[in-house]
Amino acid sequence: MAGVAAVCGAAVPRVLPRGERSGAAAPVPVVSLVLVMAATAAVSVAGVLHDIVARAAGLAVALLLVVGFVAHERRSERRVFPGAAYRAGSALKWVYLTLGLLAFGVAVESFVPLFGQRLAGLPPLVAGFFGAAVSLGWSLTQIGSSSAVRERTVRRLRTLGPVLLALGFLVQGLLLRENVPIWWVVIWVPVLCVAGSGIGIAYPHLSVAAMAAAADPAEGRQAAAAIATVTTMSTAFGTAVAGVLVGLGGPSTLGSARWLLFGFAVLCAIGIFTARAADRTSRPERSAAADRSSVTQGS
């Protein structure tokens, strides 16, 4: 990974266009970043604790830190997310929540190779390829989904994404058995690909919605930059939560796998409701924008 990062770093000056130099630097939201990192760390620690009370305390601390993060962001001038995400009636918060829940589901990949080795006796190399099935489904479907432009189709894809993600995890949890033959394990791949396809069909359209939600150009740039922040934070937090769920199912590997997959199916299904909320909230915004455009053309 370090080698790949070095190659990417060397390629940046050659690939990216040079921007205009400016003496003004964007302020770093230190407090917000510390709060969200502390929340992720609290969940990670909770995942390795064996005492139920201590684990619950770790999760409670993490939730309090997340609440503190949101409260600080709402009143601070130095934010991770643009101000539009905290305004009443804005669709941006629902778009970010849906993006976050989709990225949250990627954390399952961290444990799929373990389950392949323990439940099916796969060698580590083969089990590792099974772990990439979610990302494979994401990548393949995102290429085709990006070409959709009709508004009704886009709305349906944004809602269908969390449905497929949650359904894929649910079916995968039902398929898990101990000491299964290789032909049974092969079925896991298309199921996990279906789960990943839920991310692929919705993610590009949610990204466009996030960038278009802010009217101010400066906020628009911040909204676009925050997409990567949401993805990174959700993946980190999701991996920590996955560790907690795997711990709850122990010492049985099958129990851990079912706790993880059924738990993520429930959590990712919340994205269905956030996607619908984003759609409902964005319609008045589009109508208002159309009215403003008509007035401008008429004048």
Tens-digit pLDDT profile for the chain (299 aa)? 999 999 999 999 888 887 666 555 667 888 888 998 898 888 888 777 777 788 788 888 988 998 998 889 888 878 888 877 787 777 888 999 999 999 999 889 889 899 888 888 888 888 888 888 888 998 889 888 888 878 888 889 999 999 999 999 999 999 988 888 888 888 888 999 999 999 999 988 888 888 877 667 777 777 888 888 888 888 888 888 888 888 888 788 899 999 999 999 999 999 999 999 888 876 655 544 444 444 344 44
Q: Which contacts qualify for 57-65: CB closer than 8 Å, 24 or more apart?
A: 59/244, 63/39, 65/35, 65/36, 65/38, 65/39
Distance, CA of 264 to CA of 205 (rounded, Å): 22
d(CA 244, CA 44): 8
Asked if residue 90 lies in contact with residue 212, where contact means CB atoms within 8 angstroms, the answer is: no
Distance CA 161, CA 208 (A): 15
Please, are residues 298 and 189 in contact by the beta-carbon 8 Å criterion?
A: no
Can you give the pLDDT at residue 64?
93
The span from the CA of 94 to the CA of 203, in Å, is 13
Dist. CA 276–CA 160, nearest whole Å: 10
The answer to whether residues 115 and 246 touch, using CB atoms and an 8 Å cutoff, is no
Tokens 């995942």 belong to residue: 47
Please tell me the predicted confidence (pLDDT) of residue 299.
Answer: 47
Whole-number pLDDT of residue 214 = 67
pLDDT at 291: 45
Cβ atoms 145, 157 nearer than 8 A: yes
So what's the pLDDT on residue 283? 61
